[in-house]
Amino acid sequence: MSAADAPPAALGDLRVVELAGEFTGLAGRHFADLGADVVVVEPPGGAAIRHLPPFVDDDPHPDRSLRWWSEAAGKRSVVLDLDLAADRSRLEVLLGTADVVLESDLGARLAAVDLVPDTVLARHPTLVWVSITPFTRDGPRDGEPACDLTILAGGGPMWSCGYDDHRLPPVRGQGYQSHQMGAVYAAIGALAAIAARRRTGRGQRVAVNLNAVANTTTEIATYNWLSVQSVVQRQTGRHAAPVVTEPLQVRTADDGYVTTGVPPRTPAQFAALAAWIAELGLADELPEVVFLQQASDPDRALGAPEGNATVDAMAVYSASRDAMNLIASRLPALEFFVGAQRRDLPVGAVLAPEEAFENEHSVARGMQVPVDHPELGRTVRYPGPPLRLMRTPWRIVRRPPTVGEHTADVLAELGADPGPLAG
Amino acid sequence: MTALEHVRICDLTGQLAGAGATKILAALGAEVIRVENPRNQGRWDMMRTVGPYVDDRRGPNLGVGFNNHNVGKLGVTIDLADPRGKELFADLVRISDAVTENFAAGVMDRLGFGYEQLRGLREGVVYVSSSGFGADGPYREFKTWGPIVQAMSGLTFTSGLPDMEPAGWGYSYMDHMGAYAMALALLVGLHVRDTTGQGQWIDLATTEAALTLHGPALLDWTVNGRGRRRPGQPNGNHAIYDEMAPHSVYPARGDDCWVAIACRDDDEWVRAAGVLGSWAHDEQWRTLAARLARQDELDARIAAWTADRDAEDTARALVAVGVPASAVRRPPERIDGDPDLAGWGLFPEVEHPEIGRTRVEGLPIHLSETDWSIASAAPCLGQHTDYVLGELLGRDADTIDELRAAGVV
């Protein structure tokens, strides 16, 4: 598709300068995927995450890091050495054209490289300067070393995740989720500031605190404590709660797992479940199915007009749970999921990420996005989009940049004297 | 001034996955008007009637989760099945910048308020719909709640210990992340509207938002053919691509006490060794490759050292030498004991007319010139019906009384 044919980009009017840092990458991705011109400024040798695994064919190289690919698709790369005055001048020209700056771990170096946010904003009053830091910058814990594992441990999510057996440690979910949470909040804060700028003509600073993000991303664990001072306890495959609840995960016939979720509640659901048991020839194994058949009658069932319910609610509840568990144990996970959902029984199959990605629904919805990598001679399937914008679609405009791939182009656009370049 | 004071949202969302989105925009200054059904007392949003509760009273205004997710919003009741209710709702859309909902796919069309109808009422309207599987595709009719979204997208699978049943996320993580994605969708849609005058429909499927949260794991699959379902995986507490060791959660003194420790490079390991004791100085542990090769033994050695020590003491000692470490904190420890959060003002208090004075979750961002604020509690059912129908929609008092008597509002 040529540029002229391309649909309009949602954020096509914005330029984002990302000073490559530990927590900036995914925030920059949101902007790039929504059409902003995201220029990632890297030090000579490339951003730190370029040196992190996994690599294409396990061949370590700054342009082959899949961590980099996942955080830098659609961006342009400019290499600048901020220890050099000439490169700081180039950055200054670039900042003069930017709407948003993303920065995370410059902290102690900001003054040394002449990037103290308030000073930069004085020079460029329309800039929105976004800092993504583990703790409040200049706050009591500023400078403490932190990473995804320790942020999720100290910030709350991990306390709620793990197993019924508390001799096993709490568990962290994979995928750098503290970075993910912070990235979307960075985009939210930046766009709110851009909306304000449209009326005031002025930019401002936006601070994202990952410790605070984690603390407000724990659902009931936080508001239970805030309101009634109760503490939730982790439980296998289900919500942490102040009390122990019944297991919801069932091992399936293909050695997978499903989550059976909220138990059936309506006469139609009881009828569907009883019929499913019969279809599968499992009625002999579950005599209690009779309770489901009784509960299928709207005049006698749990939701019946007051006084008319003749079915034992506990017997029905117990039979429906047993029926769901029995069926799940006899079917492959995905087959159980589709079969239950078609009967209006909401359940989920526990899929590995790659299984979710290859799933028929993901494929039908366009969640496999082809991106050309000409120098590798491959077209690579990327995951996306997280949002379907009908008029201004999410898209990956180019493969992730090689180190400094756009340095000369960007500086030429700016009219900044290219001179001898770093890196 | 606030960032979004020019924005009005006609909000049909519920639960955390929807209401959590418009809470963010309300805190940033948008006027968010919750539209709820008078016939069932707003019970479609089950958060109105699930606990916890602060005392023995029950009712649609008393759920503290509902209050937490709906602070700063206005509440109106309108029966969308009634023709007079449809007329009121249409008038509300005419003066709104955005319409939000997280019903099952197809519900808005059946109510007569699909995107085509909405844009007919308000040119440039931003319509954000959120559902588990989106507006089309083979699973579009299927229903979800947080744990189902997490299961179907790979997030449950990748939270666990090797060769064991998945531990999963012990809460509806995707209700939060779905809400954040929905807030982002709204802001992007409003940005396009503000710059071009054009509105649009944004279809958010929370399973898809979730599928994009795996970092490089899916590229490792599409490029290298390496999936996450394989022996020895997943291990949520180890570094997923062997980029760090040690990197795990270790036992500490006391009942169910734990401490997380990570060394991001060999230099951090040397500094950690100064805390962990003489065994750790041994040359056999000096390189990442060596530590990875005997990671089980390394973890056991560290666990033996941490097990008799207080988790906070261990974390403090390691942080003091520049090594990432943290106790796995319980809610009271992190909410009331963290000086970082106290300074941030993360848990503001609101006065709720029925619940009383209570703390709620604020926003983990600050804007230096147009910051968020949370000044009011969640709306009681229909609390602002008179204001919305009278002040905004121009109905006189007699008309409102008639509508109320007829059960339309």
pLDDT in tens, A311-325: 788 899 999 999 999
Its domain, for residue A157, covers 15-217+385-414
Q: Is A219 left (phi over 0), alpha (psi -120 to 50) or beta?
A: left
Q: What values do phi and psi take at A209, rounded to 5?
A: -110, 110
Tell me the residue type at A103. E
CA distance B67 to chain A (A): 10
Residues A162 and A284 both lie in one domain: no
Q: Are strands B98-101 and B8-11 parallel, antiparallel or unpaired?
A: parallel
Measured CA to CA, the distance from residue A87 to residue A93 in angstroms comes to 10
Domain assignment of residue A292, yes or no = yes
When the pLDDT of each residue in chain B is averaged and rounded to a whole number, the result is 97
The pLDDT value given to residue A1? 44
A58·B1 Cβ contact <8 A: no
Domains (range + CATH), chain B: 8-211+343-405 (3.40.50.10540), 247-251+258-327 (3.30.1540.10)
pLDDT in tens, A186-203: 999 999 999 999 999 999
Residues A135 and A199 both lie in one domain: yes
Residues A334 and A186 both lie in one domain: no
Provide mean pLDDT across the span A288-302.
83
CA distance B103 to chain A (A): 15
Question: B241-267: string of b/e by CB count within 10 Å (b at 16+)?
Answer: bebbbbbbbbbbeeebbbbbbbbbeee
The pLDDT value given to residue B169? 98
Domain count, chain A: 2
Residue A183 to residues A191, A213, A392, B192, B364: CA-CA distances in angstroms?
A: 12, 10, 21, 20, 12
Domain assignment of residue A80, yes or no = yes
Which of the residues B22, B68, B249, B321 would you substitute to probe the A interface, choosing the one with the greatest number of A C-beta atoms within 10 Å? B249
Report the 10 Å Cβ neighbour count for A313. Answer: 12
Domain assignment of residue A357, yes or no = no
Residues A172 and A278 both lie in one domain: no
User: Quick one: which H or E segment has residue B258?
Assistant: strand B258-262
Query: DSSP states of B206-228 as a string?
Result: HHHHHHT-STTHHHHHHHH---S
Report the 10 Å Cβ neighbour count for A81. Answer: 18
The pLDDT value given to residue A262? 82
Q: Which chain B residues touch A157 with a CB distance below 8 Å? A: 169, 173
Q: What values do phi and psi take at B130, rounded to 5?
A: -125, 130
CB neighbour class for A346 (10 Å; exposed up to 12, middle 13-18, buried from 19) = buried
CA distance B183 to chain A (A): 7
Domain assignment of residue A257, yes or no = yes
Residues A56 and A131 both lie in one domain: yes
Measured CA to CA, the distance from residue B310 to residue B110 in angstroms comes to 59
B181·A184 Cβ contact <8 A: yes
CA distance B79 to chain A (A): 23
Q: What is the ipTM of this complex?
A: 0.98
Provide mean pLDDT across the span A387-406.
98
The pLDDT value given to residue A305? 47
Asked whether the predicted pLDDT for residue B10 surpasses 50, the reply is yes
pLDDT in tens, B260-307: 999 999 999 999 999 999 999 999 999 999 999 999 999 999 999 999
CA distance A393 to chain B (A): 9
A386·B64 Cβ contact <8 A: no
CB neighbour class for A25 (10 Å; exposed up to 12, middle 13-18, buried from 19) = buried
Banded pLDDT at A423 (limits 50, 70, 90) = very low
The pLDDT value given to residue A420? 57
Asked whether the predicted pLDDT for residue A303 surpasses 70, the reply is no
Q: Which residue has the higher pLDDT, B3 or A309?
A: B3
Tell me the residue type at B261. I
Residues A194 and A292 both lie in one domain: no
User: Quick one: which H or E segment has residue B74?
Assistant: strand B74-77
- CA B224 to chain CA centroid, Å, is 32
Listed by number, the residues of chain A in 278-307 with a beta carbon closer than 8 Å to a beta carbon of chain B are: none
How many residues belong to chain A?
423
Q: What percent of chain B has pLDDT over 90?
A: 97
B222·A145 Cβ contact <8 A: no
Provide mean pLDDT across the span B128-149.
97
Q: What percent of chain B has pLDDT over 70?
A: 100
- A184 and A29 in contact (C-beta within 8 Å)? no
Banded pLDDT at B308 (limits 50, 70, 90) = very high
Q: Cβ contacts of residue B168 below 8 Å, gap of 6+?
A: A161, A236, A237, A238, A249, A259, A350, B147, B150, B151, B155, B156, B159, B160
Output the 3-class SS for chain A: CCCCCCCCCCCCCCEEEEECCCCCHHHHHHHHHCCCEEEEEECCCCCHHHHCCCEHHHCCCCCCEHHHHHHHCCCEEEECCCCCHHHHHHHHHHHCCCCEEEECCCHHHCCCCCCCHHHHHHHCCCCEEEEEECCCCCCCCCCCCCCHHHHHHHHCHHHHCCCCCCCCCCCCCCCCHHHHHHHHHHHHHHHHHHHHHHHHCCCEEEEEEHHHHHHCCCCHHHHHHHHHCCCCEEECCEEEECCCCCCCEEECCCCCEEECCCCCCCHHHHHHHHHHHHHCCCHHHCCCHHHHHHHCCCCCCCCCCCCCCCCCHHHHHHHHHHHHHHHHHHCCHHHHHHHHHHCCCCCEECCCHHHHHHCHHHHHCCCEEEEEEHHHCEEEEEECCCCEECCCCCCCCCCCCCCCCCHHHHHHHHCCCCCCCCC
pLDDT in tens, A326-335: 999 999 999 9
- A104 and A71 in contact (C-beta within 8 Å)? no
- Helix, strand, coil: what percent of chain B each, to 5? 40, 15, 45
Provide mean pLDDT across the span A346-353.
98
Banded pLDDT at A261 (limits 50, 70, 90) = confident
Measured CA to CA, the distance from residue B237 to residue B258 in angstroms comes to 12
What does the DSSP 8-state code read for residue B98?
E
- B310 and B253 in contact (C-beta within 8 Å)? yes
Q: How many contacts (CB atoms, under 8 Å) link A and B?
A: 517
Residues A314 and A183 both lie in one domain: no
Asked whether the predicted pLDDT for residue A205 surpasses 60, the reply is yes
Nearest 10 degrees: Cα torsion B348, B349, B354, B355: 80
The dihedral built from the CA positions of residue B353, B357, B363 and B365, taken in this order, carries a sign that is positive
When the pLDDT of each residue in chain A is averaged and rounded to a whole number, the result is 94
- A282 and A326 in contact (C-beta within 8 Å)? yes
Banded pLDDT at A5 (limits 50, 70, 90) = low
Which of the residues A171, A259, A341 would you substitute to probe the B interface, choosing the one with the greatest number of B C-beta atoms within 10 Å? A171
Q: Least CA distance to B178: which residue of chain A?
A: A386
How many residues belong to chain B?
409
Q: Least CA distance to A178: which residue of chain B?
A: B213
Banded pLDDT at A309 (limits 50, 70, 90) = low
Q: Least CA distance to B159: which residue of chain A?
A: A173
Residues A128 and A265 both lie in one domain: no
Domain assignment of residue A239, yes or no = no
> Largest Cα–Cα distance in chain B?
86
Measured CA to CA, the distance from residue A154 to residue B338 in angstroms comes to 9
Asked whether the predicted pLDDT for residue A260 surpasses 80, the reply is yes
Which of the residues B16, B131, B191, B229 would you substitute to probe the A interface, choosing the one with the greatest number of A C-beta atoms within 10 Å? B191
- B9 and B22 in contact (C-beta within 8 Å)? yes
User: Quick one: which H or E segment has residue B247?
Assistant: strand B247-251
B153·A351 Cβ contact <8 A: yes
pLDDT in tens, B222-251: 999 999 999 989 999 999 999 999 999 999
Residues A72 and A177 both lie in one domain: yes
Residue B170 to residues A44, A248, A278: CA-CA distances in angstroms?
A: 42, 12, 34
Asked whether the predicted pLDDT for residue A310 surpasses 80, the reply is no
Residues A149 and A37 both lie in one domain: yes
pLDDT in tens, B163-186: 899 999 999 999 999 999 999 999
Nearest CA among B152, B150, B82 for reference residue B403: B82
Which one of A297, A327, A351 terminates a domain? Answer: A351
A158·B243 Cβ contact <8 A: no
The pLDDT value given to residue B331? 98
Q: Which chain B residues touch A136 with a CB distance below 8 Å? A: 340, 343-344
Domain assignment of residue A227, yes or no = no
The pLDDT value given to residue A419? 59
Place of tokens 């900001």: A110
Residues A153 and A110 both lie in one domain: yes
Domain assignment of residue A328, yes or no = yes
Q: Which chain B residues touch A56 with a CB distance below 8 Å? A: 223-224
Banded pLDDT at A300 (limits 50, 70, 90) = low
CB neighbour class for B278 (10 Å; exposed up to 12, middle 13-18, buried from 19) = exposed
Q: Which chain A residues touch B155 with a CB distance below 8 Å? A: 173, 175
Domain assignment of residue A365, yes or no = no
The pLDDT value given to residue A297? 85
Banded pLDDT at B32 (limits 50, 70, 90) = very high
- A404 and A77 in contact (C-beta within 8 Å)? yes
Asked whether the predicted pLDDT for residue A299 surpasses 90, the reply is no
Write the CATH number for A34: 3.40.50.10540
Which one of A351, A375, A398 terminates a domain? Answer: A351
Residues A94 and A208 both lie in one domain: yes
- CA B234 to chain CA centroid, Å, is 24
